[in-house]
Structure 1
Amino acid sequence: MTVRDRARGIDPRAITARRMPESISTFHTFDRNAYDPSLVRAALLDLTATPGRRIRGRDQIARTISLTVRLSDDSTVERTRALAQPSAHTDDPPVTVFRILDSLALQRARIRRLVTTAEILRPAEEGPGTQISLDTARESRLCLEPVLDRINARYGRRLAGPAGAYRHAS
């Protein structure tokens, strides 16, 4: 194949479709061991919002979410739970992740690192579809998600998101 062929759009190589990932992970490592439950929950809220943006950008949905907690003694605890409904919305994963965290009973644990993984990613058309909801607050948040995604894509990923995810820099 010559440069002339390429310039004319002739390329005999086979075209292969790009495979979408089957999971997306995000992590947060604390500067010091974290004791404060509100600090841990704020980090988890931020961790669960980030994969939602990436999944929506690829037009996918997640079926399960995993939480891995690394403690100060380098031991790890991992749990996986299915979402109530396969979703890519920012509202759904935090509920499941907080339930996992509560089930671990780590009230006085010294947490060093958190990892969340959205797993079993599938194309959005394989999902349950759109259900009419009578919860106007949730519907308003779902309508706002594409706008927030565009703002974060343009100005930086942490510009707009859940208010509880922002930790005070004191």
Structure 2
Amino acid sequence: MTSQTHAPEVSTVMHVRCPDRLPEELYRQVLEQLAGLSPVVQALPPSAALVELKGALRYHGVQARRLGEVLRIRTISRLGVDVRVGIGPSITVAATASAQVELPGGVLAVGPGEVADWLGPLPVEALHGIGPRQAEVLREYGIHRVGLLAATPPATVQRLLGGRAGRLAADRARGIDPRPVVPRALPATAAVRCAFPRHALEGAEVRAALLDLVVRLGRLLRRRGQAARALTLVLKFAGGATWDTTRRLPEPSAHDEDLRALAYRLMDAAGLQRGRLTGLVLKGEDLVDAGQVAEQISLDHARESRLVAEETMDRIRDKFGPGAIGPATLFRRAG
């Protein structure tokens, strides 16, 4: 007897874009409509979502484009919300397609055999995940179209955009994106907290505790695959009083360096003198899926090295526990 081998089933991904500034309640209702098509829905707040259609196509017995049309009819008729729908064999292709749909809505489906021909003529900034600064650098070197980016040696793209960002850009220009759609309803916030064993005054002890919260929050966000648009710091005082303030980040981030800079500004804004603190709470607010955040480049090699070190430390903590490495180890002065 001869055994038959079957090629792996090709994924079919739908990327849905809702109108900007859609109220949260309506956004949740759109997610419910998506769940009626497929059980594999990944929320991308504040106004987008991913749907894995592979199983849904077998169940409904129709083509992917038809499911996109059904979704639009339902959201318009039931919710008064017109969405843009992109469909493709990967998250990158589907998300790029949804951005190309003309307003106020519509469906654009790209088949597995059409990816290279469809992506090739697009301007390089149209590729999902390419930020404005990355596109500017690529254009300076004559890479104006996605097809040219796909034809450029990956090592060259890495030199232009940096290691990780360059690898991702080179792969995705070729239609390579192995990320799966992960069923997830993202929580609106993420919080970490600490309590002082005795009343503490603003100073080295409080700053060390705040730094520890930054590291814990950053790791929590990265493990969830999220990024924060804003931070809230809550100070708890002896006697039960609290004080809090919120500020937005320049761009969504889950990196310790970005979170730390804003957290320190929040603490400075408190203007503490002799207030006796009993605890701190640091919250990441207005969370978005990290896959939706364009990796901007700064041409700052020191920053890129810190981000690589951050990934290494996350792996160490995952293997040996959260206490294996911490702020005291990272920022200890020499001497």
TM-score by length of 2: 0.43
Tell me the CA shift for residue 145 of structure 1: 1.3
Q: d(CA) in 2 for partners of 1:166 and 1:156? A: 19
Letter in 2 for 1:162: P
Shift in Å at residue 36 of structure 1?
4.8
Residue 131 of structure 1 pairs with residue 292 of structure 2: no
TM-fit CA distance, 1:15: 3.7
Partner of 1:53: 219
Which residue is 1:158 aligned to? 323
Hey, what's the Cα distance between the residues in 1 that align with 2:248 and 2:323? 26
Q: Is residue 2:263 matched to residue 1:97?
A: yes
Number of positions where the alignment pairs a residue of Structure 1 with one of Structure 2? 153
Q: What are the Cα deviations for residues 109-162 of structure 1, in whole angstroms up to 9, with x where unaligned?
A: 1111100001111111222x1222233322211011111111101111121233
CA distance in 2, matches of 1:136, 1:15: 42
Answer yes or no: is the 8 Å Cα contact 1:23–1:121 preserved in 2.
Answer: yes
Q: Note closer, same or farther for the CA distance 1:34–1:103 as it changes in structure 2 (3 Å cut).
A: same
Q: Which amino acid aligns with 1:111?
A: L
Task: Give matches, 1:7-156, under 5 Å.
Answer: 15=39, 17-127=183-293, 129-156=294-321
Cα deviation per residue 1:55-99 (whole Å; 9 max; x = unaligned)?
A: 111221110110000111210001011012210101111111111
CA–CA distance in 2 between the matches of 1:143 and 1:63?
A: 22
Structure 1 unaligned residues grouped into runs of 5+ = 1-13
Determine if contact 1:43/1:165 at 8 Å carries over to the other structure: no
Give distance in 1, aligned partners of 2:199 and 2:242.
14
More strand, by proportion: 1
Question: RMSD over aligned Cα, in angstroms?
Answer: 2.1
Q: Which has a greater percent of helix? A: 2
SS at match of 1:158: helix
Contact 2:202 2:275 (8 Å CA) reproduced: no
CA distance in 2, matches of 1:135, 1:41: 27
SS of the counterpart of 2:308?
A: helix
1:62 touches 1:86 (CA, 8 Å); kept in 2?
yes
Q: Displacement, 1:163? A: 2.9
| Alpha-carbon shift at residue 20 of structure 1 (Å) | 2.0
TM-score in terms of structure 1 length? 0.82
In structure 2, C-alpha distance between the alignment counterparts of 1:102 and 1:117, rounded to whole Å: 17
- Runs of 4 or more consecutive aligned structure 1 residues displaced over 6 Å after TM superposition: 164-167
Bigger RCO (CA 8 Å, 6+ sep): 1
Distance 1:41 1:164 in 2: 15
